[in-house]
Chains A and B, each alone.
Chain A
């Protein structure tokens, strides 16, 4: 990993007490994010991507049990006092959600929703906050920003609402932006604009970003590094081009084979057979083993550790050496 990590998650486990028993959403997850880096966190629905992000800011509900360590620039977040956590939330680590219609408060003007973040994290007075709110809205591409401060979320289109949410997230000048599927609810053309905007903002502001998505195309276009999640664990992580060219985990390979790859040399699609393991019982061995064509005896009995496979890549697969190259490195 080239840049020094600002956020290091180690051994993170999150389980929920439900009426049907304990459900384990994240199961011993290790992940590091470097300063200024854009990391794509990919995986199927239910693999624990969103829960991981929410655990970082401790936004999970009372029925969630969290263990492990979340080191934010030398400070443990899981045990940080509420006061300190408030400074981190929005001020150092910001988060945007999938559906801006439900994440923005419908009865408060967007001006107020930006200004309250500024009030929490800056010393600006009322007039200064208003000026800054206008700057932020213009920065994310909202035309005649000053006139729109008093508008409410329902008066904006879906793409514009997502821009408003990004402006709110930027208000506290965070060093890390957690983006939870920020374009899933949008039209394809709008998706592209929002991703470009996020990428550009991360570059201009020197802000690191974790982009949660299940779309490998988005990862290829937007991210520096990728981390692949399966059943609450990281399968492998590394630079996007090198991971996509030569996966070191059987699940990553299966995932790449299951989606259209684009470009002239199209490969036939190959859906992954079977279902992800149930989250309400303990997993023995590699969680992907039952669906994996490369699995051996060890895969079914021993959990493969997440280990360095090259200087800048990690993977948790016993059969990494047997995996074929997926396509020529870009």
Chain B
């Protein structure tokens, strides 16, 4: 199989994934305690009103018909209206999602920028002091929970030194980057520790491969041997891990955005759960699940680009 057909096959795989996500979300909303009708009408609604709303929402139709309608509306890009905000769920998500994506993107870039060079230094100085120092520092990063790291960063850089804002998102793109710097850094610390450990181990493994000796025997500069021959091979297994970690960040946005008062989809999710705003919960769950599966798709495609043997 060549690269084009591998890509096509991998893209097709996303269809059953999306259908599965649809089923899970559909079922989830219907088994939640209270349910959408109670959420709309409150606890003291009359039986008559409940019956009317149930019919209005189409909840009296057979379950398969309901599921078909559910898929149909999603396919049209319609996720219903928010009960609490009285606007289209799609609009609400479109407003908040870029914030979360920017935060996740920044955290990913920070983590990679931190982990890749240090993993290399650690690997080539294996078990000597630079390696031990780097591993020790990352061990601390790995074992500190995000909210704790976040609070320390806020206290030092926002509270005491006033270099960064305490929270929020700002108005202009420049302000966005400025406001999200500390939360992204807090996220990046444990993220980069995971990448660093994995990459260090694979670099050490790749360094003992014979093609590294052959590359040196060709008279290549050390920079080329490490940057081209070692890095490409070592990244293959680490890329999968980076993908998983980004998925984690998206799913974990609920916690981090609450700690740093960032107005992203995580905060929206928390607010909607407290407000029992089912259409928003359903829409967000759907959006995040789709997003995570797109990240995994991207991971696979990057891996294919790095390793020609994947598409054989």
Contacts and interface: CB of A to CB of B under 8 A. Distances in A.
Contacts of B218: 89-90, 94, 116-117, 120, 168, 171-172
B307 A97 contact: no
B203 interface: no
A121 B232 CA distance: 23
B214 interface: yes
Contact of B217 (A59, A99, A102, A105): A59
Contacts of B306: 107
B77 interface: no
Contact of A116 (B217, B220, B233, B309): B220
Nearest to A88: B219
Contacts of A121: 219
A103 B232 CA distance: 15
Nearest to A90: B219
B246 interface: no
A197 to B, nearest CB: 19
A116 B224 contact: yes
Nearest to B308: A152
A80 interface: no
Interface string A56-93: 01010000000000000000000000000011111100
Contacts of A91: 219
A87 B219 contact: yes
B126 to A, nearest CB: 9
Nearest to B212: A105
A103 B213 CA distance: 8
B236 interface: yes
B309 A105 contact: no
Contacts of B86: none
Contacts, number: 82
A154 to B, nearest CB: 6
Given A97-B210, A116-B224, A106 B233 contact: yes
B216 interface: yes
Contact of B232 (A59, A99, A108, A154): A108
A14 interface: no
Nearest to A121: B219
A48 B150 CA distance: 57
A93 to B, nearest CB: 9
B44 interface: no
A109 B229 CA distance: 11
B220 A103 contact: no
B240 to A, nearest CB: 15
A162 to B, nearest CB: 12
Nearest to A60: B213
Interface size for chain A: under 10, 10 to 19, 20 to 34, or 35 or more residues? 20 to 34
Contacts of A165: 214
Given A90-B218, A172-B218, A59 B213 contact: yes
A176 interface: no
Contacts of B312: 154
Interface string B226-266: 00110011001000000000000000000000000000000
B156 interface: no
A159 B189 CA distance: 48
Contacts of B221: 86, 120
Specify which of A95, A99, A107, A172 lies most central, judged by the most chain B CB atoms within 10 Å of its CB.
Answer: A107
B219 A107 contact: no
A106 B306 CA distance: 10
Given A107-B307, A154-B312, A120 B217 contact: no
Contacts of A120: 218-221
A104 interface: yes
B205 to A, nearest CB: 13
B209 interface: yes
B215 interface: yes
Interface string B285-312: 0000000000000000000001111001
B211 A103 contact: yes
A59 B218 CA distance: 11
Contacts of B307: 106-107
B217 A57 contact: yes
A97 B233 contact: no
Nearest to A53: B217
Contact of A103 (B214, B224, B236, B309): B214
5 contacts: A90-B217, A106-B308, A107-B232, A107-B236, A116-B220
Interface of B: 209-211, 213-221, 224, 228-229, 232-233, 236, 306-309, 312
- The 5 tightest CB contacts between A and B, nearest first, are A90-B219, A89-B219, A90-B218, A152-B308, A103-B214
Given A89-B217, A120-B220, 10 more contacts: A89-B216, A90-B220, A95-B214, A102-B210, A103-B211, A105-B214, A106-B308, A107-B236, A116-B218, A172-B219
